[in-house]
Amino acid sequence: MTQETQNVLLSVEDLRTWYELRKWGFFHAGYVKAVDGVTFDLRHGQAITIVGESGSGKTTLAKTLLGLVPPTGGRMDLAGHRYDSERVKWLRFLFKQSERAAWRNKRERRTWIRAKVGFVQQDPYGALAPFMNVRKILAEPLTIHRVPKHDQEERIRAVMEEVRLTPSEDFINKYAHMLSGGQQQRLVIARSIVLEPELLIADEPVSMLDASVRVEILQLLRRIQESHDLGVIYITHDLSTVRYFSEYVFVMYAAKLVEKAEVSELIHNPRHPYTQALLTAISDPDPDNARVFKDVPKGEPPSLAHPPSGCRFHPRCKRFMADLCDVQMPVSFEPVAGHQVECWLYR
Amino acid sequence: MKSVLRTLKTLRQYPSAIAGLAIVGFLVGVSIYTMIAIPYSEAIRLWRGGAGVWDENPRNAAPVWYDLLTRDSLSRTIKVTSQGEGEKTITPLGDGMVRLQVTLPFDFSYDTFPSEITLYSQATYEDTRTKFSLTWVRPSGTETVLVTDRSMRSSDGYYISQDAQLQTGRVAPQIGLFSDWSLSPGDTDRVPEKGRYELILETVIPEGYEFETKLLVYGQIHGFAGTDNVRRDISVAMLWGAPLALMFGLLGAVGANVTTFVLAGIGTWLGGFVDALFQRLTQLNMLLPLLPILIMIGQFYSRSLWLMLGVVIVLSVFSASMLTYRAMFLQAKEAPYIEAAQAYGASNTRIIFKYLLPRIVPVLLPQFVLVIPAFVFLEASLAVLGLGDPLLPTWGKLISDARSADALYMGHYYWMIQPAVALMLTGFGFALIGYALDRIFNPRLRTM
Ligand SMILES: Nc1ncnc2c1ncn2[C@@H]1O[C@H](COP(=O)(O)OP(=O)(O)OP(=O)(O)O)[C@@H](O)[C@H]1O
Ligand code: SF4
Ligand SMILES: [Mg+2]
């Protein structure tokens, strides 16, 4: 094994998540291919951003990585554990059993806890059970993972300090509706790191927050990422927030990652026509005016149930090449080292 | 849970809820008192009757609170015994016989006549029949000889008020004996004479034997709830009806409503086969007629209250409210915090019981409170349909008995009205609490 592969935290290969469409409740009527052939590696302590317009499959990718939605195909390895595959639907039960057996070994249990993935959702208010107070919310993951009661309180105080919900006495008995939006999201972040995960998936963590607290929350995430050497997947539809965060950006279009590059490389040398269209649209230097992704390139986002043939961007692409782009799906090219793009222009 | 408790405290702001709580609290208090004061076995004995249990009660007597509604003071039951206030004089006659004279005095100060007069006697000799004579002395001093040389068994009862020979015209014996012909001569408008009465019994009995006698002058009112047509004290059923109604209602509500709620949560969360099964069972069960099934069981198997309750619970678990709850759970399970719980590894059981159910408890709670009286009424309806428990003194059984005895037609309103009021009060109390809870937990109603 090379140094590189040893350092990989999350390895995803050709991941597909298709939602089955049913007619009258039981007839098969095709699939919504919400994630379709996603491949990437994430190193320990690396932060990446996945940016894409609404409906491109970002949330589905996040849920698949979290194990909330079973993948239709492909491979996911977290810290060396294969944690889901095509066979899962039936094997899931057995898989859980073996997982449970592993728990009995204390050391393995600890590694498993560390290997866990934290999740920060979009809507902080919805993400917090309205009938639980702060202590309970933070204690739940600990209880589930059998952290002894007397260790819980200490851990809860520690994460509250970390997300600056201080003094913790003032907050610990409050209910979600008594907190401001920003405080709620801090609490969600606290909960996502209370088990000391190695990977944090944040699905549009600031899009529902007031503009005044967005930067603060992103900086908090950044600080946590750095201090814990945490792998972070930050999902957004707003390219202007990327710079607070990560080294790497993946551009998602219609269930695929069409371009992967370092942040500055992508901003200065976008290769994919879709990314280029995006960046011209947000060339306005004032980040507050940077328009949200959605309505940027002309034309409609494609249907994921019936995606366009060949390159999925071709009906909207300015540099469309007939008989190639509409026939064959582009493969990944690497015009510059570390900059991958799925577009026939770079063949 | 804490938030539920917190919300319960706000109940205080609703006067109607306080009234409801007061009513329910009163019923609970009565229940506790009853179960301590009249133990179950004693209640069954008083209700089922048996030798001599009801003999000293008047028949069809009104409750004592009737006295407050009338200007006249209504007569109450008077009991005089030869061991008590009575006086015995024994004169030996030789031949091993003695002459016995018993004087039974009592004061009568009511404005209405007694309902019945009966004399019981009990002697220790056997087989021998003796003869006795009775003389009735009114306060004014006038005397009436009731019988002379009436033969008497060792244990006997003489129903004075039913003796046709004592009837004068349309004046019944208990009226004639309690009013003086010379003072109030008409058949109607007679008023009872107040003062000290005496009944003098004379007999000859074998020497060395005991003879005791007991005079009962039955009143027109008895107990706080009156008596029925077999002299049974209705207050026993009024009191024991409370704990039985509360128990039936509570067990029914817990058994049916809460089970439905939990099953709906489980079905909705697990989805797939379990959910489909629960839905089909519900649809099937909604086609089953509850009442005819209960009638059949009552006719052919048993009318035990607890069996009926069991059947009702089983048949209401998969009731229409399953579908209501399912709709709520389907919405609640989409909440992001449930997804978050899955992400941090909560098991299905934990998600159902700690995340899904608590969310809907605010909706369940008012319904649960409102369902309790529904079960109480169901018990009453079963009783009225003749499916009441033959043993237990319930309010429904009272109404059923009153109905079959034509109580309303006969003018014994209290017999039917008291249990009916108790039932309505119960329903009212729970309804007041239930609606207040509904307004607190489902605030959209608050503005309406
Ligand atoms: N449970 C589901 N069943 C069927 N289709 C679904 C389901 N969830 C999502 N989809 C479809 O999958 C596609 C991708 O949805 P997803 O939520 O992943 O997009 P997204 O990139 O997160 O969008 P947004 O920015 O609006 O959150 C959409 O077309 C959506 O309609
Ligand atoms: S493959 Fe063709 S259609 Fe697709 S982005 Fe590249 S040039 Fe445009
Ligand atoms: Mg999304």
Query: In this structure, what CATH number is given to the domain that contains residue B253?
Result: 1.10.3720.10
CA-CA-CA-CA dihedral for A234, A236, A239, A245, to nearest 10:
-20
> Is B164 inside any structural domain?
yes
Exposure on the CB side of residue B305, measured as CA atoms within 13 A: 26
> Which residues, by Cβ under 5 Å, contact ligand 3, an ion?
A 59
Flag whether B358 is in a domain.
Answer: yes
Residue A275 lies in a domain: no
Indicate whether A292 pLDDT > 50: no
Residue with tokens 């009013």: B179
Would you state the pLDDT for residue B184? 62
Instruction: Among B166, B186, B218, give the residue marking a domain's end.
Output: B218
Same structural domain, B79 and B9: no
Which of B8, B270, B275, B337 to mutate to probe the A interface, most A CBs <10 Å? B337
Model confidence pLDDT, tens digit, residues B164-217: 888 877 788 888 888 876 666 666 677 888 889 999 999 888 888 888 899 988
Is A56 near ligand 1, meaning CB less than 6 Å away?
Answer: yes
Q: Which two tokens stand for residue A276?
A: 């280029």
| Pairing verdict, β B211-218 and B130-137 | unpaired
Question: What is the CA(B287)–ligand 1 centre distance, in A?
Answer: 40
B340, A188: Cβ pair inside 8 Å? yes
Distance CA A260, CA A251 (A): 6
Return the H-helix or E-strand segment holding B94: strand B87-94
Largest CA distance in chain A: 67
Q: ipTM of this predicted complex?
A: 0.84
Q: B3 at the A interface (CB within 8 A)?
A: yes
Q: So what's the pLDDT on residue A25?
A: 67
pLDDT of residue B424: 94
Domain count, chain B: 2
Q: What's the pLDDT band for A1 if we cut at 50, 70, 90? A: very low
Residues B308 and B159 in one domain: no
Over 70: is that where the pLDDT of A113 sits? no
Q: Report residue B2's pLDDT band, with 50, 70 and 90 as the boundaries.
A: low
Contacts of A175 in chain B (CB under 8 A): 3
* Position with higher pLDDT, A95 vs B21: B21
Domain termination residue (choose one: B155, B189, B218): B218
**Tell me, what DSSP letter sits at residue B80?**
E
Residue numbers in A near B346 (CB within 8 A): 140, 144
User: Per-residue pLDDT for B138 more than 80?
Assistant: yes
Q: Give the model confidence (pLDDT) of B266-287 as tens digits.
A: 999 988 888 899 999 999 988 9
User: Per-residue pLDDT tens for A46-98?
Assistant: 899 999 888 899 999 998 888 778 788 888 887 776 665 443 444 344 444 44
Looking at every residue in chain B, the average pLDDT score rounds to 86
Residue B333 is assigned to a structural domain of this protein: yes
Q: Is A31 in the pocket of ligand 1 (CB under 6 A)?
A: no
* CB pair distance less than 8 Å for B2 and A145: no
Q: Is the pLDDT of residue B388 over 70?
A: yes
Range of lowest pLDDT (A10-14, A30-34, B149-153): B149-153
Query: What percent of chain B stands above pLDDT 90?
Result: 24
A138 pLDDT exceeds 50? yes
B87 shares its domain with B161: yes
Task: Domain of residue A12: give its range.
Answer: 3-270
Query: What is the structure's pLDDT at B1?
Result: 57
In a domain, B184, yes or no: yes
| pLDDT band at A304; cut points 50, 70, 90 | confident
User: According to the model, what pLDDT value does residue B55 have?
Assistant: 83
Q: Is residue B226 part of a domain?
A: no
For residues B7 and B101, the model is more confident at B101
pLDDT digits (tens, 9 = 90+) for B31-76: 999 999 989 888 888 888 776 788 888 888 888 888 888 888 888 8
pLDDT at residue B384 is higher than 90: no
CATH code where residue A223 lies: 3.40.50.300
| Between B91 and A292, residue with greater pLDDT | B91
Bridge partners, A188 (sequence order)? none
B152 DSSP β-pair partners? B130
Nearest atom (ligand 1) to Cα of A53: 25
The pLDDT-based confidence of B127 (bands split at 50, 70, 90) is low
Q: Say yes or no: B326 and B428 in one domain.
A: yes
From the candidates A112, A131, A143, A144, which should be mutated to test the interface with B, based on the most B CB atoms within 10 A? A131
Whether A197 is in a domain gets the answer: yes
Confirm whether A326 is domain-assigned: no
The residue out of B187, B218, B249 marking a domain boundary is B218
Q: Which residue type is seen at B225?
A: A
Same domain, B189 and B301: no
Our answer on whether the CB atom of A304 is closer than 6 Å to any ligand 1 atom is yes
What average pLDDT does the segment B137-151 reach?
87
- Cβ contact, residue pair B337, A127, below 8 Å: yes
A90 touches chain B (CB under 8 A): no
B180 within domain boundaries: yes
**Touching check for B335 and chain A: CB below 8 Å?**
yes
Residue B57 lies in a domain: no
- For Cα atoms B35, B38, B41, give the angle at the middle one, nearest 5 degrees: 95
Comparing CB atoms, the residue among B2, B335, B340 nearest residue A119 is B340
The chain A residue lying nearest B359, using CA atoms, is: A131
Q: Is B224 a domain residue?
A: no
Total structural domains within chain A: 1
The enclosing domain of B84 has a CATH number of 2.60.120
B110 plus B75 within the same structural domain = yes
- Domain shared by B39 and B14, yes or no: yes
Q: Is A34 in the pocket of ligand 1 (CB under 6 A)?
A: yes
Tens of pLDDT, residue by residue over B324-377, are: 899 999 999 999 999 898 888 788 888 999 999 988 888 888 888 999 999 999
Residues 6+ apart with CB under 8 A from A169: none
Q: Give the residue numbers spanning the domain of B134.
A: 64-218
Q: Has residue A293 got a pLDDT over 50?
A: no
- In the DSSP assignment, the letter for residue B105 is E
Determine, yes or no, domain membership for A308.
no
pLDDT for res A4: 55
Q: What is the mean pLDDT of chain A?
A: 81
Mutate to test the pocket of ligand 1, among A21, A58, A237 (most ligand atoms within 8 A of CB): A58
DSSP B161: G
Which of B1, B336, B355 lies at the smallest CB-CB distance from A121? Answer: B336
Looking at the fold, whether B188 and B276 belong to one and the same domain comes out as no
Give the torsion through C-alpha atoms of A313, A317, A321, A324, to 10 deg.
Answer: 0
Residue range B133-137: mean pLDDT, rounded: 90
Q: What pLDDT digit, counting tens, does each position of B423-439 carry?
A: 999 999 999 999 888 88
Contact status of B286 with chain A (Cβ, < 8 Å)? no
